[in-house]
Amino acid sequence: MATEILVPTLGESITEATLGEWLKQPGDRVEADEPVASLETDKVSVEVPAPAAGVMGAHGVNVGDTVNVGAVIGAIEAGDGAPAAKADAPAPQQAAPAPAPTPPEAGQQAPASPAGEPSSNVEAAALSPSVRRAILEHGVDPANIKGTGKDGRITKDDVVAAASNKASTPASPPAAPAPTAQAASAPTGNRGEERVRMTRLRQTIAKRLKEAQDTAALLTTFNDVDMTAVIEARTKYKDLFEKKHGVRLGFMGFFVKAACQALRDIPSVNAQIDGDEIVYHDYADISVAVSAPQGLVVPVIRNADAMSVAEVEKTIGDFGKRAKDGTLKMDEMKGGTFTISNGGVFGSLMSTPIINPPQSAVLGLHRIEDRPVVRDGQVVVRPMMYLALSYDHRLIDGREAVTFLVALKNAIEDPTRLLIDL
């Protein structure tokens, strides 16, 4: 008797999702609670566990289809005898001639696999359609690719990186199949196109950012900050800090604490509009923009104003790791009263970030670079960073926005202010 695979509850107010990937193919052996599919919601990816052990039946929906909570997307067939026999069948047949195929398998078995199919070391079921297409286009062997995705799965970026390494290696035999595969997929040269459906997360990001532009009266004000004092403090105490707290001392801890102090002094930056009312918060829940494989996610540091720098750094480090693994929970990305986005890690010099509704402001951090500045009448070189505060002008006046940035700048340039509450 077959056991139906149902779309699990996805969280409050989330009623549907997109089937992002089938992790098990029909006929595969499945253990109870083993992930069989991956769903993409507005915020995170959710794995669908197998309701029982058995054999994966036919897929009820296709990759990219929209499914509702509680919908049937497949089934687990009863019985484990068939898959076991299927797996054991080749062994007795090849028991006698086993020594013959062994030498080729130890040599160059993978390139000889037909039509660029994944080798026996990598289950085809573990490869998404876009990854399989990339493998065919680049002519690489997935068995030689180290996956950086969730649970070690191979991503499209892994295939591209492996192809780049292969092209830079002076070994001519492996490089020969690549042009052939490319020529077959793009007969007109290097003008190929690929049409890929937007993930639900990317659709949500696009919708929310456009909604922010259409609703809020966006304005951005800039300032710059001398990072000398923070860099010196970090250099002096980073080893002791990591030894005591088990986490590296970064710059975000300083900026989060400085922002919390400035938000307390300028409460409108920490407020939001709800209809014809203004909601002021006496706490600071700081949303931190984190880059994930499927897009930008914004987990929230709850009560950041009551945390130490070490607690902030630990929380951010945990968010970053779990964003990469795709294990962030939906509740961790709800709410938030103010956002900090650090484009400097990607080399951005200056930007105008867009607010994260219903929040009213977002702070953009950028790369640190040495620039000539005037100090005490002398031109000196200092590590400088541009700051950008985008805000909803319906709620926040220019005076308040500038005052907020100046307060934050003062705290970063003289971190002692954070200790004595100035």
- C-alpha to C-alpha distance for 117 and 110, rounded to whole angstroms: 9
User: Using an 8 Å Cβ cutoff, are 362 and 230 in contact?
Assistant: no
pLDDT in the model for residue 416: 85
Q: If you count them, how many residues does the chain have?
A: 422
Q: Show which residues are catalytic.
A: 393, 397
pLDDT in the model for residue 157: 76
pLDDT in the model for residue 242: 92
Hey, where are the domains in the chain? 3-81, 89-185, 200-420
pLDDT in the model for residue 192: 82
- C-alpha to C-alpha distance for 85 and 199, rounded to whole angstroms: 38
What 3-state class would DSSP assign to 257?
Answer: helix
**C-alpha torsion 376→382→383→384, nearest 10:** 50
User: In the block, which residue shows the tokens 């693994």?
Assistant: 325
Which secondary-structure segment (H or E) carries 54? strand 54-56
3-state DSSP helix/strand/coil % of the chain, to nearest 5: 40, 20, 40
pLDDT in the model for residue 180: 52
- C-alpha to C-alpha distance for 201 and 37, rounded to whole angstroms: 17
Among 181, 182, 147, smallest CA distance to 161 is for 147
Alpha-helical runs (H) found in 246-343: 252-265, 309-325
pLDDT of the chain along its 422 residues, tens only? 788 888 887 765 577 788 878 888 888 888 888 888 888 776 667 788 888 888 888 888 888 788 888 888 888 888 764 443 343 444 444 444 444 444 444 444 444 444 444 443 444 445 665 676 677 777 777 777 877 776 677 877 777 788 777 665 554 444 555 555 555 555 556 888 888 877 777 777 788 778 888 888 999 999 999 999 999 999 999 999 999 999 999 999 999 999 999 999 999 999 999 988 999 999 999 999 887 766 678 899 999 999 999 999 999 989 888 888 777 887 788 889 999 999 888 888 999 999 988 899 999 999 999 999 999 999 999 999 999 999 999 999 999 999 999 999 999 999 888 876 76
Q: Does domain 3-81 fall into CATH 2.40.50.100? A: yes
- C-alpha to C-alpha distance for 30 and 55, rounded to whole angstroms: 6
Domains 3-81 and 200-420 share a fold: no
Residue 97 Cα distances to 79, 85, 87, 92, 392, angstroms: 31, 20, 18, 10, 75
Predicted TM-score (pTM) above 0.85: no
pLDDT in the model for residue 108: 44
CATH architecture of 200-420: 2-Layer Sandwich (3.30)
Angle at 364 between CA 390 and CA 360, to 5 degrees: 35
pLDDT in the model for residue 41: 73
pLDDT in the model for residue 13: 58
The per-residue b/e assignment along 7-43, b for 16 or more CB within 10 angstroms, e otherwise, is: beebbeeeeebbbbbbbbeeebbbeeebbbbbbbbbb
